[in-house]
A and B are shown apart, each in its own frame.
Chain A
């Protein structure tokens, strides 16, 4: 028997009342636009959560629409009544996870266990994966593997992602302890590399660190930090997400950083919302809030610094913002200001750039078909903009764009670059 009172509390039922069902979120929602059903709109999902809390529908009835939400939170940005969609979504994801825990098959459980508990949180394994990918790509063994159908044992979606993943470079050795320098640096920065980012795009982290240092910052990548927990949080692994958050909060409390900086829109969004994992009465709330306030996206910092933009980058460029950078971190202008400073760049706006590309954490792996619907819509606008470079600010978007270009046969004509790579090139860093 489902405890109705508990269900209402667990499901952020009160927050659903802020939705006046005006529908202003519909045009902003990628799944509504791509799937064409109210069921997959923010307003529709909120209604289903409310009805589930009231016992008018079963939890099972809201499962599919909640699963298929990208979590891009574009609806929050356009909402005229400030509905806390993220909170409602997370509550539904958690309730579903709890509900499913009971009847999950052992096999799936084992896979989730490996992905969320072991792989993502274990730097050694990710490091090995990175090195593995690196070796594979260097030796072109990945192509052998692809041909030998070894990759076929993975689900199609994983395979496609593997094909789209760019050449991996190993990270450079980074400063891991604070130096007691005579001269006070302009800013003391704790660098947050992010798991997937540092595996697939370690070189971008390296460039980001060099840029910060060029701007007079001391940058330290502390060893004690771990996974941000975003993917776990979005998948209903609430306890694990809290555990990871606590670990990071504690780790950074031991240092005196002005800012904690990352180049991953998705991780950044999780980090700036750590306090929402805790009740306001919980002593962790204050600690998490102080931590959250220190976290900034790399673009915010780079825009503050006086960097030596010297080299022209003669490219036609469009920008695909990371949803979590825009809608959760609310960083909108800084990436543009940076792009503007890069000489030689011709910026072409892309229509509907604020629509999610369908990457959304591991969405493009677990809901591959739906993700491709969203991606196809995105690629229509990419083609209309006809850029030479798509600039992103998040590894998930980056990979998804690569995949999209590959699907369209455009991967030879259009390249995908992180904003940091553009700025680094303009500042003469290789």
Chain B
């Protein structure tokens, strides 16, 4: 923006009702230059809008000067969604948490974009309702960010992901028009389903200023089991066996042997370190129903060669079992500080095959690869632990990650289950979508944002762009 920066700042201060919400100091700009992925990109200006009219005015100014607009929640993205890779104006929505209304008669919540995800579920809970999407950063992340990235979470297995709970949106388009999509009804086939198109579009089509979310009755109880497997392949078969037995757990999380050992070295919970995998299974529903279902889950697991099934007798014991899963992250980063969390996802039936491929990749590139995460929906979460200061190691990691993407696509899966494409995975888009598929998406983008000011540099690869895990 160079020459016009001061002029733009002046105009922004006029349209944002409190000029303290226009940030221009170096320390502020750099504080909005990163997310939870890689790379540091300093924006030229940061605005913290708290009303739709402010967003409209800001976008009109950006459009006039052809300056990038990058929406940001609380920067927990693992794919680079909120990184201002081309500079411009970052719209920080974290202050705009003013609206969180539950409409119990219609089973919906109406929220402003800066509302924290878990607060929606908490508030819904007061009405005996639940907002199911539960990304692990739900206590930090904003709903706006979740909508932009179409975030998932462990409960995705049974309840689906963010897009499955969005009934309507208020958006501001690239030319500053306010549009409402969908509404408060579950059924709505009037015209194209723009709502679903916008959710997961990573801020490249429009800016979301309000959402109407659908809620479901809150299950009465949950029950947890920990299942041990001598062979990781058997844990994959157990997942299929449980699901085909007509039981849909609310969560099915896996920890492979590497993560089990790391946790035991870190906190001594008494986990057996000679097993290849642990599955944590949570059922929710009526207490009597899940009691009966849990015994069928145990039978299904034992039938495919589980070593042991431990069912938690009360909530406290369940909490202790989940503790193991929670400690994986702190445990594995003790080895090395850089954690590359991938979310390539495959059809459930291919879980055993994917385990095999991951094992080969670990050996081939000699990388510290651990698998833990949402197993039940095929969203395996292979994590590579490395040190970003080690250039040679990082280049092996890059090759390993590339091969993970290839394996996922070859097995009929996808590059990203819930983190988004952002900057990191864009070089692989064509591999999954094909030339024509990618071209169609590009045409959508060009129709919505002809000036290419909305989050430029995301989803679509730049000519010659390579996959890189670097901060510089």
Contact = CB atoms under 8 A, between A and B. Distances in A.
A222 B116 CA distance: 52
A57 B28 CA distance: 11
Contact of A48 (B27, B35, B48, B333): B27
A20 B330 contact: no
Contacts of B141: 23
A27 interface: yes
Interface residues of A, number: 28
Contacts of B388: 17
A147 to B, nearest CB: 37
Chain B: interface residue count, which band?
35 or more
A37 B30 CA distance: 11
Contacts of A82: 330, 333-334
Contact of B36 (A22, A39, A58, A62): A22
B304 interface: no
A38 B32 contact: yes
B140 A57 contact: no
B131 interface: no
A27 B245 CA distance: 41
Contacts of B32: 38
B26 interface: yes
Contact of B31 (A20, A24, A47): A47
Contact of B75 (A18, A21, A56, A62): A21
A61 interface: yes
Contacts of A64: 27
Interface in B331-380: 333-334, 337-339
A37 B333 contact: no
A136 interface: no
B389 interface: yes
Majority secondary structure, B binding face: loop
Interface in A60-115: 61-62, 64-65, 80-82
B137 A23 contact: yes
B61 interface: no
A81 B333 contact: yes
Contacts of B139: 24, 27
Contacts of B338: 17, 20
Nearest to B328: A80
A49 to B, nearest CB: 11
Interface string B73-91: 0111000000000000000
B40 interface: yes
A17 B94 CA distance: 25
A81 B23 contact: no
Interface of B: 23, 25-28, 30-36, 40, 48, 74-76, 92, 94-95, 116, 137, 139-141, 329-330, 333-334, 337-339, 387-389
Task: Please list the 4 inter-chain residue pairs (A to B) with the smallest Cβ-Cβ separation, ordered nearest first.
Answer: A39-B31, A44-B31, A38-B31, A81-B333
Interface of A: 17-18, 20-24, 26-27, 36-39, 41, 44, 47-48, 51, 56-58, 61-62, 64-65, 80-82
Given A17-B338, A65-B27, A80-B329, 6 more contacts: A21-B34, A21-B35, A27-B116, A27-B139, A64-B27, A81-B339
